[in-house]
Every structure is written in C-alpha cells, then in structure tokens.
Amino acid sequence: MATFKDIGLSAAVNLLSAFSFLVAFAILRLQPVNDRVYFPKWYRKGVRSSPTCAGAFVSKFVNLDFKTYIRFLNWMPEALKMPEAELVDHAGLDSAVYLRIYLLGLKIFVPLAVLAFAVLVPVNWTGNTLEKTEDLTFSDIDKLSISNVHSGSKRLYAHIVMSYVFTLWTFYVLRNEYKIVANMRLRFLASESRRPDQFTVLVRNIPPDPDESVSEHVEHFFCVNHPDHYLTHQVVYNANKLAELAAEKKGFQNWLTYYKNNYERTSKKPTTKTGFWGLWGAQLDAIDFYTAKIEKLTEEENAERERVINDAKAIVPAAFVSFKSRWGAAVCAQTQQSSNPTIWLTDWAPEPRDIYWDNLSIPYVELTIRRLLMAVALFFLIFFFIFPIAFVQSLANIEGIEKVLPFLKPLIRIGFVKSLIQGVLPGIALKIFLIVLPLILMTMSKIEGFTSHSTLERRSAGKYYLFILVNVFLGSIITGTALEQLESFLNQAPTEIPKTFGVSIPMKATFFITYTMVDGWAGIAVEILRLVPLVVFHLKNTFLVKTDQDRDEAMDPGFLRFAQSEPRIQFYILLGLVYAAVTPILLPFIIVFFAFSYIVFRHQIINVYDQIYESGAAFWPDVHRRLIINLIISQLLMLGLLSTMEADRATPLLIPLPIITIWFHMYCKGRFESAFVMFPLQDAMVKDTLEKATEPNLNLRTYLQDAYVHPVFKGGELEIAQITDEEEHSPLVVTKRSLSSKHDSDGSSKASR
Amino acid sequence: MATFKDIGLSAAVNLLSAFSFLVAFAILRLQPVNDRVYFPKWYRKGVRSSPTCAGAFVSKFVNLDFKTYIRFLNWMPEALKMPEAELVDHAGLDSAVYLRIYLLGLKIFVPLAVLAFAVLVPVNWTGNTLEKTEDLTFSDIDKLSISNVHSGSKRLYAHIVMSYVFTLWTFYVLRNEYKIVANMRLRFLASESRRPDQFTVLVRNIPPDPDESVSEHVEHFFCVNHPDHYLTHQVVYNANKLAELAAEKKGFQNWLTYYKNNYERTSKKPTTKTGFWGLWGAQLDAIDFYTAKIEKLTEEENAERERVINDAKAIVPAAFVSFKSRWGAAVCAQTQQSSNPTIWLTDWAPEPRDIYWDNLSIPYVELTIRRLLMAVALFFLIFFFIFPIAFVQSLANIEGIEKVLPFLKPLIRIGFVKSLIQGVLPGIALKIFLIVLPLILMTMSKIEGFTSHSTLERRSAGKYYLFILVNVFLGSIITGTALEQLESFLNQAPTEIPKTFGVSIPMKATFFITYTMVDGWAGIAVEILRLVPLVVFHLKNTFLVKTDQDRDEAMDPGFLRFAQSEPRIQFYILLGLVYAAVTPILLPFIIVFFAFSYIVFRHQIINVYDQIYESGAAFWPDVHRRLIINLIISQLLMLGLLSTMEADRATPLLIPLPIITIWFHMYCKGRFESAFVMFPLQDAMVKDTLEKATEPNLNLRTYLQDAYVHPVFKGGELEIAQITDEEEHSPLVVTKRSLSSKHDSDGSSKASR
C-alpha cells in the first residue's frame, strides 16, 4: 500500500506531465499557423478572419515575439475574465450551465474538505488503531482515514454527525443551484428573440387517412381543433437516402480538390485506381474519374430529390405545425389531441438544427419494443461486455496470430516483436472498446427513437453513467468483473451488499487518488492540446485548402461532448461524496480536478467549441438526479462500512439519511423540473403581447415558411438566412444569435449523419 | 394436512352457511317492512315510494304471499338481466366497471382452469413422487400439485410452458379489458349531458397578493392568460367549522325528534341529564333542553356563516375557475400556468359532490412533507402493526384486568367467565384493528392531501392492497409476522427470497382453499344480508320517523366501498395466478368466488347502493397496475419454486417472463392510461361545436354560478337544483342524471364529515 511518499511521487509525475502538456499548448497556441485550431470559435463568429499578428512571411507561421512565451499561462486568467452573462451570449446557455457543474463540484467539496480536515482528520489521526497493529497492509494515508478509528469507538459518532452535515450542505448547494439554473433558463427563454421553435409543435404518429394526403389531414385536423391559433405546417420528407448521396458527393469532392491541388503544384497528371480506396483496379486519370463520379452523383441526387418531393410515400407521418402565437403552440404542445393517445402526439419542436431527422416516423408499438430491447441490451453491455473482449484477447495472442496468418511467423518469433504483441495486444482490445463505447451508447439511444440531438446526448450520458458506476467505481472497489458483482448482488442479502462494498472502501483510497491524478489531471491537460484536430487541420490545410473559405471549412471546432464528460464529472462527485467522511485526504485531489477542469473547459468554450444545438440547459434535471443517486450510494456505503465497525447503536442513526435524500429529490423535482419540460402559458402570453405591441405587421407565415425543411433541401438556404437576418437586425428587439445562424444547417447536417 | 374429505367437509359447511345466509336474505327481503333496506336505490331514484304489495294492515309489514317464498333465489337471474348499457345509466360507470373486475377474474381463470386441468393435473397426478415417500405431511391435494412431480423431472417443462401460456392469456384479457374500459369511459364522457365539471378547473396554491383579494387576483390572472376563454370563478371558503356546527345541530335535532315522538306516544314529559351522553348531571325537561340547544347552535351557525363570508382570511388560496368552452377548460387543466410550478396549479375540477373540501388549501412544501410522513407511517403500519396489538393483548389478560379493576375480581374468578375472557379477548384486539384499518388508511390518505373522494378511495385501496399482500398473502405462506418477513427480506439474498416463499407455496394450498371458502363465499353472502343497515333502519324507524320523508332519510343505501373490496379481489386474483401452475385444484374455488360475488354485487348495485360520486371509472389504471404486480409476484414465486426443484436447465427459461410483463405494463400505460387522466381536445371541440349548434343562447354563467359552492352554504340549494333540472329536461339533449342530482349535496356533505 502506498505511503505519503508514493502518493507524493505519483502526484509529482502527474503534475509534471500535466504541466508539460500545458507548456506544449502554450507554445502551440501562439503559432499563427495553429490559430484556427485553438481559436475556431472566433472565426465561426466572424470576429477573427486571420491570425492577429501580421508582419513578415515567417511570422505568419511561427510566433517570433518571445515576450509572449514568458506569459505562457496567461490564458488562464483570460478564460476566467468573461462574465457569465456574456458567456451565455457568446456560447449559449448549454455551455454556460455545463461549466456550472464544475463550479457545483467546487461549491460542494471546498467546504466539505475544510470541515473534514478540521473535524475528521484529527479524530482519525488520534484514533491510533493502526499504530498498535503491525499490519503492513496499512499505509500512512490510512492513518488519516476511518480505518484508524477503533471498531465500536465513540469517535464514530463524529463520522455520523459529519455525514449529516455533508448531506445537508449538499442539499443546500443543490437546491440553490437548481433554482439558479431554472431561473437562468426561464430568463434565457424569455429574453430570446423570435425563434421558429417557439411557434412550432412537432406532431408525430399522424394516422393514415384513405382520402387525404398527410398534409391535408394535418391541416384539417388542426384547423378544426385549434381554429383560433393554427397557422401553417411543414410535412417531413424521408430524405435519408438523399442525405447519404450528398455526403458521398462531398467525399468525392474532397478527393477532386486534393488531386486538383496536386496537379497545380506538381503539374503531373495524378492517377488513381478504380477499386476500393484506390488500392487496386485499373489506373485512370484521377481528376477525370472524380469529375465523372460527381456528375453521376449529382444526377442521382436530383432524381432522388424529385422522387422525394413528388412521391406521396416519401412523406413520413410526422409534421411541424406552426401556430399564430406562442400561447397557441404552448397549448398544443402540452395537451392531448386525440382520444387515442398513440396518435397525433404533440410535443415542442426542437430547434431546427437540433432535430434528428431519421427518427421522426417510428410508430408507437415499435417504439416501445425498441426501448425494451435497448434496456435489455444495456444490461448485457454493462454486465457482460468483458466476454467478447476476452474472446478477442484470446484470439489475439501469439499462437492465434501464427495460426491465422502463418506467413507472419518469422516476424513474430523475433523477441522484441513478440513481447510487444504480448504486452500490448490484450490491452488494445479493451482500449478500443472503451473508445468506441460512447459511439455504441449513442447508437443505442438512436435506436430508442428520440427525435432530437439534445435528447440523444442526455440519454447516452445516462447509459454511460451506469457503465462507469458499475464497471469503474464498484468494479474497482471489489476488484472483479461486473458479472461477479452481479452474482454477489443476487446471492447476498440486501443488507450485506453495502457491507461488502463499505468494508473495502477505505482500502481503495490510494487507488482512487492515483486514478484522479492520471485520468483527471493529465487527462484534462490533454483535452486542451486538441491533438487530433491539430493534426487533421494541418493535413487538410496542406492537401485540400485553396481559399480562406476552404480554410474556414477545414476547421473542426468540435463541441462539448456532454454524453462523455458529464458522467465523468459525476464519477468524481461520487468519489468525493463517498470519501468525504471516510478518507478526507482524497478531497483536495478532487478539488484540484474540478478547479483545473473548470478553467480548461471555460477556455475551450470561449475559444474553441461551437455547439451544434442549444437546448437551454435541458440537461440539468439529469445532472441533479444523478447527483442524488451518488449521494444515496455514498450514504448506503457509509451505512455498510459503519455496520462492520461494531457501531451497532450508532449505525441506525444513518438510516433516515437516504429516506430524506429521496424526499429531497421529489421535492426538487416537483419544485423545479417543470421549468425544463414545460413552457408556462403566462410567459408565452407576455412574449406574445409584447410582440403584438412592437411589431403589429409581422408576417409570421413567411418567417416560419422554411424553418423546418430538411437540411438537404436547403438549396435556397442563403436567401432564407438573409430574411431571418434582416428581421433579427430590426431595431425593436436586439438579437444575439444572428452570427451563428449561418452555420445552423452545417451543424445539423453534420450531426444527422 | 387436509385430505379431499376434509376439504369436502369444509366446503359443505361453508356452502351451508352461505346458503343459510341466502335463505335469510330471501325471506327478509320479501317483507314489506324491510323494503327500504333492500331496495333503497329505487327509493332514491324516485321510482318506488312504498312497498309494492298493498293490502291488509299486516301485509304492510309481513309478506303473506307464500308463493313468493318458493322462488326465493329468483333475485339471481333478475340481477343478471339488466344489460350493461342500462346499468351504466342506472348506477353510473364506476359501478358498472367495478363489476367488470369480477368478470375479468372469470375471463382469466375459467380458461386457465380448463387448461390446467387438461394439462397440468394429469402431469402432476402421474408424477408419483409422493406415493413412494411415506411422508404423512402430504395430502391428497398435493398429489394434484407440483409437489407430486419428481425434482429435476422433465415434466417441469410442462409447468414452464403453461406459465407462459397463462401469462400470455392474461395479457390478452387485460389488454382487451383496458381497451374496452377506456372506450366505455370515453363514450360515457362524450355522451354525458352538460355538467359543471366539464367547464371548470380547480386552481390551487394561488400566491398571496398584497394589493388584491384572492378573488380579484384569480380574475385578473385568468383574464390575462386565457383572455378568449375565461368565464367566471368561485372562491373557496374555509367552512370546516361551519360544517361541524351543522353536523352537531343535526345530532341534537335527532334527539329532539326522538323525545317528541316519545312524548306523543306516552304523554309523559321525557327528561334528560345535562352531562355526557345524558348519563349524569341535573335532571331537565328533554324537549326544552334540546330546543334551547338547537336555538343556540343556530345562532352560532349564523354568526359563523356571516364571519366566513365577510372575513378575507376565511378564503383559502384555491378557486374553481370556469371557462366558456370545454376546450378552454381542457387547455387550462393540462397546461402549466406560471413559471413557478408550485403556484397556480390547475387540474380538472372533480364533480361538485366528489370534492373533499378540507384539503383544498395545503401549500406545496407541506404537501410533500405530508406524503413523506405518510409513506413512513404506512411502512410502520404494515410491518409493525402487530406490536401495539400485542401490547393491548398483554394488558387484556386476567391478571391485568384484576389489577386495573380489582372490584371485578369475584366475577372474573368464575370459571366460565374466565375462560371466555381468555379465549376471546386476545382475538378481539386484532379483530377491532382489522375493522378499523380501512378507516386508518382513509385518514392517512386524507392527511396526504388529495382533493377528491374518488382519489382518496383509490389511494386507500393501494395502501390496503399492500397490507393484504404482506400480512395476509406472504404472512400466510411463511407463517410469521410481517416483521419477521422484513428481516428475512433484508438478510436473505434477493435470489433466495423467491425460493423461501416458492418452496412453501404448494404446502399452503389447502389453507388458501379454506380461506377462500370462509372469507370469499360466506363473507360475500353476509354482504347481501346487510345486517347493520337492517338494524339501524329499524331503530331509526321506531324512534325517529314520523313522515315518509323521515323514513326516506332514515334509509342508508350505503355505497360500493372500493377501498375495501377492490384489494380483496386483487388478493384472490393473486391466489389464482400463483396457484394456477402449482396446485390447479384451487382454481375452481376462486372461480366460484368470482361468479358468486359478481351476482351479489350486481344485485346490490342495482337495488341498494347509491354512489356518492361518479369518477368515470378513473380507478381502472390502478386495478390494471395491481394485477400486473400480482402477475409478477406469481412469476417470481414460480421461478423460486422451480429453482428449488433442481430444474437448473429449465428455470432460466422463466426469467424473460417478468421482463415481458413489465414491458406489457409500460405498453398498456402509454396506450390507454391517458384516457383516464386527460381529456382530449378533439373530443372537447366536438362537444363544444355540437352545443353551440343546438343551444346558441345558453347562459353558461348562470348555469355555473353556484355549482361549486360549499354544501353548507347551499341554503338556496333547491332553487339552484330547479334551474339545473329545467335545463337538463330541455328537449335538445336527453339527460339521465336529473333524478340523482337532488341528493348530491346530501352525499357530499355526508362524506366531507
């Protein structure tokens, strides 16, 4: 087990590596040639169009101003400077509220750490149990933990009291935060300028009608049932094939540009092969080949577009119905239309760029079956994922490779190669799985049939959280696979499970400290380096880019990957809550993680990420719920730990804690959640009235006309954007989102792929 | 253990007692003097005003027509004659759908019994395990049960297949029934004539306003936020004290009538004592005493009424808001009004007579705390109820009585009295508790703060179901208190629990057969006798009644006690589902229970019960959910039983069953539940349009004016009823509920006490 010295050494190594990443970042970001990698957000917003420092030819690529290198950490205070209100304008509410999760971690754990160090550390330190025993499996760290307290000691009451204090403090912070975020959301929605989704409702499961087309049927239904409010509607075409064709064409166009640039540079006619990835087949002139391909695809695309628009079967039974007022839309979105609750399903339309077009036409029964299958699949993924990996690992040993690919035998027999394969291969299968996992989870969410990207991300985050909870947290505590845990869950009494886990918690503290430093500290420092986008940008820049516009398109600002990073935060919060009363020495490490992440992500959000949608912090109820789950897990584990420490009279005092926590959750849910689900009629009425007074002559029909057209049909996209811009620049209501609107269609077409 | 002979004997005894109750009923119901006890529904409906056979003086009290005695069971076919549509008109949808639960039991269990006897009984009978063993604890019954099959036998596959068949058949019946009931409800709501609750929304948690009264505040809020639809509103007065005074006065009036009648009969001035219950105190003239008392109370009542109407503090922050159309009310009931979801809470107003007035003004936070406390209380009630009873029992022994009441010593020492006390007293405490239990559960539901009688009954039924499930079903299987069960739940592995219960299931079959006969058969036969109302009516008739109107008021038709009888049905359904695959011989007994109950309750609903509210079968989702829970319990127990029978390869085949069942529940919930919660806009629009076309000059404001006035204020009640009646008798829309409307206020004031 680790001593203070070991931990110190590990901390030094990790701090050093994090520091070196930061230095690398500081140097790279100052090079003008990397400007589009580290400041893409500003390019996207149109504020920046070329690196800031102009001058000699060399200084276009390399920064020669050595003074700037000295202040290499000055991005940190800069990242903190922007006030929150401006941040909301600059990057949207989603990003601003996401940052608040890190702040929430700090708000919870800084006071907890102070209290724990003031009260529990002295209590533990003077417990003196471990000094008496000569057991070498205990380390210095454990002297500060609850393990140092004698079983059945009166000192354990201190831990119980502190558990209550910690829980109540967490309640206080959580409730405040929920209230603040709910208010931010309401203010955000209220201050927003006119947007199509405020007037529009997504109607799904439109029943087939033998006499009318979908469009007529929708119009008649809403004219009858919402006579005073119905304005217009937009049917949804099944344009999945068309989108595929467009994506394919785009790929060929990239190759064409590549070969054209090549030709210009070398003046040598480039050639390619017709086979797969240009690896085999007949040799041909590359430019001609791709030009022909693109022409063919364009024709196919046009034919398909014609077919989709004219074929009644290409219209899916879903529509975007727009209303004359926000009040009318709010009413339609919140009420049931038909006596059969599986048809004419209405819900708020997502933002146009947030829509996941593929899922708009799934019938009700299919949807319930899909959810059932995915729930079963998730269960197997979490508890049985180790089997296929073990299978691959068993294949990927030396003997297996020799058998399948006998010609590699001589190579493999070389000592160095052999040990490399044996050392690396088994790990690789697991690593590849973990990299692909978020993708698998996202695919599962897509199969579940949700209709917006924001919902898909939220659902994936939930799945990922469960995976981390079972396989990383619980799996590390009782070392063993998830399946072994499942077995112990099934074969142990419910009261025994917290004991089994609780008793090994203090022993795992050093492991989790190391984990926090490697994954939390160094991992976040890697994030800011953006290695992959850096390489990809320079590749594109070299081979594909000709004009500045090309260069702008080659930028990949990326976006906040909520589905991956939020569950990670929750894991650290769980660690902190579990160890706050057990081994408080872990808290400072977690606090460093939260503080460092906060600065890094604030920098990234300001300078890099370009969100593809804006959900108005709709994810907060999920964050809150998972935090409550963390709290309950930590309480149950504490209960289990104490009951193994012979504190029979003291332990029952902890039983009310989880009950109060569940009640607190229900209270918060009732009090705040609807701000994230519903849109109150009062607010709708206020906005409608204001609008009527300020713009009596507004032509809403024109405004909404093309808002919900599938992105592949947006040929006349720029004209529409023009109209929107004009209106948004009207002097009556100041808007803040005109700059990003040009890129909407970009983002959503990218994401729907 | 019981042999066939024992069971046969028990069946004979119970059949005989049930039969004798039926004979007693047949004789009593034919006596004209009992007419108001056994046919009150017809009096309430105004169809009958005096016993049918007139004639000699004697025949007014005793039926001398002996021919009618011969056909003493002819009430049975008569009860079945009325078609369901007429039953809905006659007794309301609640009662008609309630009867369908018994029919549902028959629909599930008759095919199950046929299948089980065709397949499982032969399989079990030829299993021959028990013949080999000389174990005397097994009975003949067990030869027909799964116990007779060899452990690990291939025959167990038959039970697994049948489990699937039973589950799928139950799904089929359940889904059909849900669909039928949902359609019945929608048709019922659509065919209903105009009712105040169709236009009215109950608004709770109106925020206080420093400048405006509650009434002004409501008016302004809804004028602004529902400008095209708001019509009028009615504030709610806190008239609980007034209602108490009125009830007290009614009691004194009864005494006054009693003494006046006494005086008329005996011509002797009756006297009473001023003390408690007239037991001690000064002797006084009774008539003067009560006249004075009533006068004083009337004054107090008037003063209180003045105070309530004029005092702003007597207005609770709740109101009934009415709209110009059903569409407007449907919109308001289903949407969120304010951005703070704990104020301006809107929901459909219950029927005026369904409202539970005391609970209209509970603030949000208090409500959540009340629910938490009641959940904890229910837990303790279910698992720890035995302790106070044991305590009372320990007091109520011979020695205890001797100590507390020493003067009874000589009496108690008599052998007969002593053995009586020792034999009866301990049982009495438990019996009293079980009688009072529904009252306790109802009180708990009232504390939880629900605002309508129908919801209160539904919530109480849920609590009672849990109590029966734990204390009767599980408690009988592993003989022991609920607390012991709880301990075994906590200290056993989750996979062990079904085994513990499963393994003792076959052994308890005979016990449950006997229980079914005693509680199910004989218990239902007692129900039809109506002993308590019979005695009470004759007491009232003798001492209080002077006019025919008095006699009508002395009738106590009672009503269907959903909160008590529905959980009981669920218990028998659970028994049937559990034993269908284990000991099919139990099924015929349960089928008899369902068939007999169906006839008895159909008779009671047609002739006796007078429902105090009509919720439109809103309880069906609860019935369905509990049936699903029963199904899952039966599947888990089957799983546990099989896993103890060494059928290792076969048992896992049962695991998908509960998963499919949960999925089926979610499917049904999504598909049908909203018909019981929401009112679709399409239906509202159809009714509005129809009404506008048929009655263009309807004055809705007058119609709704006094609909939601607290019953104690209904001084001018009759005039209002007049208006309602006139409108309901209008030739345009035929109404079916004018007859019962006169008694609305009666019912609701009785129930709110």
Q: Tell me the one-letter amino acid at B595.
A: A
**Residue A659 contacts B, CB cutoff 8 Å:** yes
Q: Return the pLDDT at A750.
A: 39
Q: Return the pLDDT at B398.
A: 64
Whether A594 shows a pLDDT value over 60: the answer reads: yes
CB–CB of B339 and A368 under 8 A? Answer: no
**Residue A128 contacts B, CB cutoff 8 Å:** no
**CB contact at 8 A, A564 and A438:** yes
Residue among A561, A572, A620, A580 nearest A469 (CA):
A572
Cα nearest neighbour of A488 on chain B: B493
Whether B69 shows a pLDDT value over 80: the answer reads: no
Q: Which residue has the higher pLDDT, B654 or B170?
A: B170
CB–CB of A372 and B663 under 8 A? Answer: yes
Q: Tell me the one-letter amino acid at B177.
A: E
Task: In whole angstroms, give the CA distance from residue A749 to residue A553.
Answer: 14
**Residue A334 contacts B, CB cutoff 8 Å:** yes
Whether B435 shows a pLDDT value over 70: the answer reads: yes
**In the predicted model, what is the mean pLDDT of residues A110-126?**
86
Which H or E run includes A237? strand A230-237
Q: Tell me the one-letter amino acid at A484.
A: E
Residue of B336, B337, B651, B674 to mutate for A, most A C-beta atoms under 10 A: B336
CB–CB of B224 and A659 under 8 A? Answer: no
Residue A366's φ and ψ, nearest 5 degrees, are -60, -40
3-class SS at B584?
coil
Whole-model pTM: value is 0.80
pLDDT category at A422 given cuts 50, 70, 90 is low
Residue A517 burial class via C-beta count within 10 angstroms: exposed 0-12, middle 13-18, buried 19 and up: buried
CB–CB of A493 and B495 under 8 A? Answer: no
CB–CB of B494 and A495 under 8 A? Answer: no
pLDDT category at B736 given cuts 50, 70, 90 is very low
Q: Return the pLDDT at B303.
A: 82
Residues 227-256 of B with CB under 8 A from A: 228
Least confident of A13-27, A219-233, B117-131: B117-131
**Residue A380 contacts B, CB cutoff 8 Å:** no
**In the predicted model, what is the mean pLDDT of residues A120-146?**
67
Q: Tell me the one-letter amino acid at A4.
A: F
Q: Hey, which of A562-571, A601-610, B226-235 has the most confident mean pLDDT?
A: A562-571
Cα nearest neighbour of A664 on chain B: B368
Percent of chain B beyond pLDDT 70? 80
**CB contact at 8 A, B139 and B204:** no
pLDDT category at A591 given cuts 50, 70, 90 is very high
**Residue A671 contacts B, CB cutoff 8 Å:** yes
- The residues, any chain, with a CB within 8 Å of residue B585's CB and separated by 6 or more, are B121, B141, B144, B145, B509, B513
Q: Return the pLDDT at A571.
A: 93
Chain B residues in contact with A338 (beta carbon < 8 A): 680, 682
Cα nearest neighbour of B183 on chain A: A339
CB–CB of A674 and B337 under 8 A? Answer: no
Residue with tokens 């500081």: A26
Q: Return the pLDDT at B743.
A: 43
Percent of chain A beyond pLDDT 90? 14
Q: Return the pLDDT at A444.
A: 92
ipTM surpassing 0.85, yes or no? no
Q: Return the pLDDT at B165.
A: 92
Least confident of A263-267, B308-312, B483-487, B609-613: B483-487
Q: What is the dihedral of CA A629, A631, A635, A640, to 10 degrees?
A: 50
Least confident of A136-145, A375-384, A559-568, B627-636: A136-145
Tokens read off for B46: 């105004």
Task: In whole angstroms, give the CA distance from residue A703 to residue A683.
Answer: 21
In the predicted model, what is the mean pLDDT of chain A?
78
Chain A residues in contact with B675 (beta carbon < 8 A): 339, 341
Cα nearest neighbour of B189 on chain A: A339
| DSSP string covering A710-735 | -GGGGGGHHHHHHHHHHHHT-SSS--
Cα nearest neighbour of B656 on chain A: A376
Q: Return the pLDDT at B277.
A: 60
Task: In whole angstroms, give the CA distance from residue B255 to residue B290.
Answer: 7
**Residue A723 contacts B, CB cutoff 8 Å:** no
pLDDT in tens, A288-300: 777 888 888 888 8
**In the predicted model, what is the mean pLDDT of residues A278-306?**
77
Terminal alpha carbon distance of chain B: 49
Task: In whole angstroms, give the CA distance from residue B413 to residue A378.
Answer: 72
pLDDT category at A66 given cuts 50, 70, 90 is low
CB–CB of A334 and B335 under 8 A? Answer: yes
CB–CB of B685 and A224 under 8 A? Answer: yes
Residue with tokens 């013949």: B131
| DSSP string covering B704-729 | HTTTT--GGGGGGHHHHHHHHHHHHT
Whether A716 shows a pLDDT value over 50: the answer reads: no
Q: Return the pLDDT at B68.
A: 66
Q: Return the pLDDT at B106.
A: 93
Q: Return the pLDDT at B426.
A: 66
Chain B residues in contact with A369 (beta carbon < 8 A): 663
Residue of A335, A343, A366, A659 to mutate for B, most B C-beta atoms under 10 A: A335
**In the predicted model, what is the mean pLDDT of residues B450-465?**
91
Tally helices (H) and strands (E) across chain B: 39, 6
Whether A626 shows a pLDDT value over 90: the answer reads: yes
Q: Which residue has the higher pLDDT, A749 or A662?
A: A662
Shortest distance, CA B495 to any CA of chain A (angstroms): 6
**Residue B531 contacts A, CB cutoff 8 Å:** no
Least confident of A619-628, B445-454, B625-634, B673-682: B673-682
Q: Return the pLDDT at B753.
A: 35
Tokens read off for B344: 């301006």
Q: Which residue has the higher pLDDT, B415 or A123?
A: A123
pLDDT in tens, A135-194: 545 566 677 777 777 777 778 888 888 999 999 999 999 999 999 999 888 888 877 777
Residue of B339, B662, B663, B692 to mutate for A, most A C-beta atoms under 10 A: B339
Q: Which residue has the higher pLDDT, B416 or B740?
A: B416
Shortest distance, CA B140 to any CA of chain A (angstroms): 35
Q: Return the pLDDT at B54.
A: 47
Shortest distance, CA B231 to any CA of chain A (angstroms): 18
pLDDT category at B401 given cuts 50, 70, 90 is low
Whether A719 shows a pLDDT value over 50: the answer reads: no
Contacts 24+ apart (CB under 8 A), A161-164: A162/A115, A162/A116, A162/A119, A162/A120, A162/A580, A162/A581, A163/A581, A163/A635, A163/A638, A163/A654, A163/A657, A164/A657
CB–CB of B685 and A493 under 8 A? Answer: no
Tally helices (H) and strands (E) across chain A: 38, 6
Q: Return the pLDDT at B131.
A: 58
Q: Which residue has the higher pLDDT, A28 or B588?
A: B588
Task: In whole angstroms, give the CA distance from residue A327 to residue B83.
Answer: 46
In the predicted model, what is the mean pLDDT of chain B?
78
Whether B745 shows a pLDDT value over 50: the answer reads: no
Q: Hey, which of A85-89, B716-720, B736-740 has the most confident mean pLDDT?
A: A85-89
- The residues, any chain, with a CB within 8 Å of residue A272's CB and separated by 6 or more, are A259, A278, A283, A284, A286, A289, A290
CB–CB of A683 and B339 under 8 A? Answer: yes
Residue among A717, A711, A719 nearest A747 (CA):
A711
Which residues pair with residue A321 across a beta bridge? Answer: A201, A233
Residue among A190, A352, A228 nearest A684 (CA):
A190
Residue among A439, A441, A239, A217 nearest A355 (CA):
A239
Shortest distance, CA B621 to any CA of chain A (angstroms): 15
Whether B109 shows a pLDDT value over 90: the answer reads: yes
Cα nearest neighbour of A679 on chain B: B336
Residues 179-198 of A with CB under 8 A from B: 186
CB–CB of B336 and A681 under 8 A? Answer: yes
Q: What DSSP state is assigned to residue B207?
A: P
pLDDT category at A72 given cuts 50, 70, 90 is low
Q: What DSSP state is assigned to residue A3?
A: -
- The residues, any chain, with a CB within 8 Å of residue A292's CB and separated by 6 or more, are none
Cα nearest neighbour of A339 on chain B: B680
CB–CB of A680 and B339 under 8 A? Answer: yes
Which residues pair with residue B402 across a beta bridge? Answer: none
Which H or E run includes B345? strand B345-348
Q: Return the pLDDT at B70.
A: 66
CB–CB of B494 and A494 under 8 A? Answer: yes
Task: In whole angstroms, give the CA distance from residue A347 to residue B685.
Answer: 20
CB–CB of B490 and A489 under 8 A? Answer: no
Q: Return the pLDDT at A728.
A: 40
3-class SS at A575?
helix
Task: In whole angstroms, give the CA distance from residue B316 to residue B236.
Answer: 6
Q: Which residue has the higher pLDDT, B741 or B228?
A: B228
CB–CB of A225 and B337 under 8 A? Answer: no
Task: In whole angstroms, give the CA distance from residue A495 to residue A484.
Answer: 18
Instruction: Please give the C-alpha separations between residue A120 and each of A124, A140, A161, in angstroms, as whole numbers.
Output: 6, 16, 10
CB–CB of A490 and B495 under 8 A? Answer: yes
Which residues pair with residue B283 across a beta bridge? Answer: B273
Chain B residues in contact with A175 (beta carbon < 8 A): none
Shortest distance, CA B610 to any CA of chain A (angstroms): 30
Q: Which of A331, A365, A493 minimises the CB distance to B335?
A: A331
Whether B478 shows a pLDDT value over 80: the answer reads: no
**CB contact at 8 A, A591 and A515:** no
Chain B residues in contact with A489 (beta carbon < 8 A): 494
**Residue A335 contacts B, CB cutoff 8 Å:** yes
Residues 472-491 of A with CB under 8 A from B: 489-491
CB contacts < 8 A, A to B, total 130
Tokens read off for B184: 């019945």
Task: In whole angstroms, give the CA distance from residue A637 to residue A501.
Answer: 7
Shortest distance, CA B106 to any CA of chain A (angstroms): 28
Residue among A272, A233, A266 nearest A252 (CA):
A272
Q: Return the pLDDT at B695.
A: 79
Residue of A204, A323, A339 to mutate for B, most B C-beta atoms under 10 A: A339
